[in-house]
Amino acid sequence: MSDSTPAVYSITLELDGERHQFQCRENQTVLSAADDAGIAVPSSCCAGVCTTCAARIQEGEVHQPDAMGVKEDLRKDGYALLCVCFPRSDLRAAAGQEDALYQAQFGQYQS
């Protein structure tokens, strides 16, 4: 018999210079858990495409198979899309990274 109770992780999220802490289940997106905690993380498509909800993971592991808006090597570098991002451990992350992610992905194409 398997234990079907989802694990719950502790998330520390920096946004606009403020640090927020909240809990997130393993089967819940970080964006939805932030929303439940009353934290207004910028978001738009909520489907892993637009990158409005971009964050950079500083500590911890995430699962984000649907993060189409982030290249694989940048995911390894810690970039995550919170609307399609599920925690796999306690996390420390910085939200509001849309511009930084854009620069990291497309900066080399601009002169």
- How many residues are given for the chain? 111
In angstroms, give the least distance from the CB of 89 to ligand FES: 21
What stretches of the chain show up as alpha helix (H) in DSSP? 30-36, 72-76, 98-106
* Cβ–Cβ under 8 Å, residues 64 and 86: yes
* Cβ–Cβ under 8 Å, residues 51 and 98: yes
Q: Which is nearer to ligand FES, 2 or 41 (CB)?
A: 41
In angstroms, give the least distance from the CB of 40 to ligand FES: 13
Q: Which is nearer to ligand FES, 4 or 31 (CB)?
A: 31
3-class secondary structure, 75? helix
In angstroms, give the least distance from the CB of 68 to ligand FES: 8
Interacting residues toward ligand FES by CB under 6 A: 43-46, 48-53, 69, 81, 83
Q: Which is nearer to ligand FES, 1 or 31 (CB)?
A: 31
